[in-house]
Amino acid sequence: MKPKSQRLILVILGVASLTASALFALSGLKENIVFFLSPTEIAQKHPGNTRIRIGGLVKEGSIVHGEGEELRFVVTDGAHDVPVLYRGVAPSLFREGQGVVAEGALEGETFHAARILAKHDENYMPPEVVKALKASGQWKP
């Protein structure tokens, strides 16, 4: 084999291995991508069984403790409400009127949360929630 053809084969193999590595990395990232939506965006898009994060305020008077660790509440952005079902222990900062981000999937009209995110003090609100509340006219700094 001539040196030029050997180099060409090595270059082709290198490009093929880089392409395969990139495809594996992208397929792994695709499974871990989670989109953030407000209740208004959910009402407009109906994202189905896609894993998403929903953010807004916990609606006043909506928290209902069920059997065991079942917790039902409503997330609102002022324009639309989304009922949420969560099985687990709620974070200590979780309460009515406070910002919340829940991760899970929409099944029918109810959002089934796998996780409730509340890792900051009571004054913190995720930027996505602030943006959604400002868009709906419900933002109160």
Q: H or E stretch including 52?
A: strand 51-58
pTM over 0.85: no
Q: Tell me what pLDDT residue 16 has.
A: 93
Q: Tell me what pLDDT residue 138 has.
A: 65
Contact 62, 96 (CB under 8 A): yes
**What pairs with residue 103 in β-bridges?**
53, 115
Characterize 79-97 residue by residue with b for buried, 16 or more Cβ atoms within 10 angstroms of its Cβ, and e for exposed: bbbbebbbeeebeeebeee
Q: Tell me what pLDDT residue 92 has.
A: 80
Q: Tell me what pLDDT residue 1 has.
A: 64
For each of the chain's 141 residues, which pLDDT tens digit applies?
677 788 889 999 999 999 999 888 877 766 666 677 888 888 887 767 778 888 888 899 999 998 888 999 999 988 889 999 999 988 887 888 888 889 898 888 899 999 998 645 555 566 777 777 777 776 666
Short-list 27, 28, 83, 79, CA closest to 54: 83
Q: Tell me what pLDDT residue 31 has.
A: 61
Q: Tell me what pLDDT residue 78 has.
A: 83
